[in-house]
Amino acid sequence: MKNVPFREPIGGLQFISQRTRPNISHAVSIVSSFCSDPGLPHWTAAKRILRYLKGTKNYKLTYRKDAAFTGYSDADWGNDAETRLSISGYVFLQRGGAVSWSSKRQSTVALSTTEVEYMALPMASQEAVWWMGFLRELYGINDSLVINCDNKSSICLAEKETGYPVRTKHIDFRHHFVREQVELKAIKFKLVASNQQAADILTKALRLEDRKMLGVLQIPT
């Protein structure tokens, strides 16, 4: 592996995943974490991503006139078998096409699905607040931005419907930023079915039929 130029293609993949191909963000973030000490499996995975891009080079982001601005937030619990850290992901759609997305490992270990989904909401909320300011200046929009989440208990926790239960006292204060934004009516949450969760592809590897379901992100020509 000393003679393999691993960092160069990974840098190129990171650029592509951050610009026009959100559907490879999760895979690229995984292989990127091994840049300091890559092995043969990581090099094989990187080449597989490149082959996928070659086979789907006619894919493109598609935008429509009649679609509203909306966001999706999701997380995968304990995805890393070694550290048990989870992956947070979000995507924001403007006119039906992705304009902002992220796939990032959480900094602390979550103890439940409610906690991991709740810890993913602030990252999406921070991005939503920025977009609301931008849309307000651009179009004069003052409505709350809707963020779709497929975990009802995390939404209840964000909206304080469950109060402050003992089992959530340990959650870091920075994750409660989302509650402040809900009170300010900058954002609001909507429960969405897991099979309609557009951010799912940013948190885990999906089956082929599931990737087709997320055609909202990448539409073939």
Domains of the chain (ranges plus CATH)?
Answer: 7-57 (no CATH), 70-213 (3.30.420.10)
Q: Can you give the pLDDT at residue 95?
A: 83
Whole-number pLDDT of residue 166: 47
Nearest-5° Cα angle at 95, 118 to 19: 70
> Token match 């026009």: residue?
20
Q: pLDDT at position 48, please?
A: 93
Q: What is the pLDDT, as a whole number, of residue 221? A: 36
Phi, psi of 114 (to 5 degrees): -60, -45
Which pLDDT belongs to residue 171?
Answer: 65
What is the pTM assigned to this prediction? 0.82
Question: Residue 192 carries which side chain, given as an amino acid letter?
Answer: V
Q: What residues have CB less than 8 Å from 33, skipping those under 6 apart?
A: 105
Please tell me whether residue 11 adopts helix, strand or coil conformation: helix
pLDDT of residue 96: 81
Query: Chunked in runs of 10, what are the mean pLDDT values of the chain (221 residues)?
Result: 89 91 89 89 93 87 81 83 81 88 83 83 90 85 86 83 56 71 87 86 70 46 36
- As beta bridge partners, residue 188 has 146
Give the span between the Cα atoms of 115 and 112, in whole angstroms: 5
Residues written for the chain: 221
Q: Is the separation of the CB atoms in 155 and 191 below 8 Å? A: yes
The reported pLDDT for the residue numbered 160 is 72
* Tokens found for residue 199: 């951010």
